[in-house]
Amino acid sequence: MTISSIDTATVAAPDRLDFWREAVCDQFVTLDVRPLEDVPSRGRVTAAEVGDTLVRRIEAGPHRFARTASLVRRADEDYLQIALARQGSTLVVQDGREAVIGPGDFVLYDSSRPFVFETSGSFAYSVCLHPKRLLPLSSAEMEQATAIRFDGRYGIAATVPPFLSALHRLDGDELAGPVAAAMTQTVGYLIVALVRSEAPSARSTNLHLQRAHTFVAAHLGDADLTPQQVADACAISLSYLNRIFRASGTTVVEHLREQRLQRCWQALGDPGTAAVPIGAVAARYGLPDHAHFCRVFRARFGMTPSARRAQRGG
């Protein structure tokens, strides 16, 4: 993990604003960057990478950062992000919600939809950008968890401030190959826990849906598993099963495919499966058609199964 720093103090005064805007967009996602001072304060960004996860620190004077619909359409990669306030007060707006965060608070926000950050003075954040394609979360779950203030002193949220601080301090030599991949997975698990445990609207209280999830997880290896079999196992009608899955933001078939692909992703990154052929890994989780598996795996994760396995070894 190479750590780099970008500081407007290293650039001649007339060029600082353009330099700053370009640096912010390059190190985060493309944004409309507007300092709210006649003479912008010094701005600094420290950037590092933990596997596929980007870790950033940013500090500057009052700003408005906006991710507009037109900027979203130009994106190459979509991230679910954590912004932890270290200094200052910030209004965060996304998905029809507003949250105000101060030191120790954080929000989740999604680069694939418009958002706004507006600070009331100087600010400092720790930011974690995690690829959405690596998260076993439905679009509905992620959308329900954005622009909600998390208090970093309590519950699962209390793990975030020290965790991000530790990521900033990691020695790059300790994060080669499988270690970096494991850390990326750890970040993903933390985000999943935040979405599902801390965002009340993201928690399912439907016992039939929970039973369906449990049954699917236990039968991923059955390539012929059908929604009707899931409904029968839960003693409900197929139409009701479809309805409760739609209410959760997905379908039975989409959920089944996602769970299979997630298990394959994890298995291909596990050194213990290094001697198992990729086709056998896929078949173990109900995807026996190798060509189809490779196609859907690449569409979901942005890489081939063999590239994922190579990632395990660095």
Say yes or no to pLDDT of 130 above 70.
yes
Supply the CATH classification number for the domain 207-312: 1.10.10.60
Residue 211's contacts (CB-CB under 8 Å, 6 or more residues apart) are 233, 234
115-119 and 123-131 beta bridge pairing: unpaired
Strands (E), 37-179: 44-50, 53-60, 63-67, 79-87, 90-94, 97-101, 105-110, 115-119, 123-131, 150-151
Q: Which of 64, 80, 175, 72 is nearest to 127 (CA)?
A: 80
Tokens 């120790």 sit on residue: 104
Instruction: Report the range out of 31-45, 116-130, 133-147 with the highest average pLDDT.
Output: 116-130
Residues with Cβ < 8 Å from 54, sequence gap 6 or more? 27, 47, 48, 79, 127, 128, 129, 130
Using 50, 70 and 90 to split pLDDT, how confident is the model at 49?
confident
- Tell me what pLDDT residue 311 has: 73
Tell me the average pLDDT across 70-82: 88
Separation between Cα atoms, residue 282 and residue 264, nearest integer Å: 6
**Residue ranges per domain, the chain?**
4-202, 207-312
Q: Bridge-partner residues for 45, per DSSP?
A: 6, 58
262: phi then psi, degrees, rounded to nearest 5: -65, -40
CA–CA separation, 249 vs 78, rounded Å? 19
The second-level CATH assignment, the architecture, of 4-202 is: Sandwich (2.60)
The rounded distance, in Å, linking the Cα atoms of 213 and 73 is 33
For residue 72, what are its two tokens? Answer: 């979203």
Helix 252-268 vs helix 290-301: crossing angle, to nearest 10: 90
| pLDDT score of 140 | 78
Retrieve residue 71's tokens: 């900027």
Each residue's pLDDT tens digit, 273-294: 888 999 999 999 999 999 999 9
Amino acid 202: pLDDT: 44
Would you state the structure tokens that stand for residue 148, as one six-digit string? Answer: 């909600």
pLDDT at 93: 97
CB 54 within 8 A of CB 129: yes
Q: Quick one: tokens of 192?
A: 């999943």
Query: Tokens in use for 175?
Result: 């994060």
Give me the DSSP letters along 58-76: EEESSEEEEE-HHHHHT-S
Confidence of residue 204 (pLDDT cuts 50, 70, 90): low
Report yes or no: 196 and 146 within 8 Å, Cβ to Cβ.
no
**Tens digit of pLDDT for each residue in 137-159?**
878 788 889 999 999 999 899 99
Q: Which of 75-84, 116-125, 170-179, 303-312 has the highest mean pLDDT?
A: 116-125
Tell me how crowded residue 241 is: count the other CB atoms within 10 A of its CB: 22
Residue whose structure tokens are 């990326």: 184
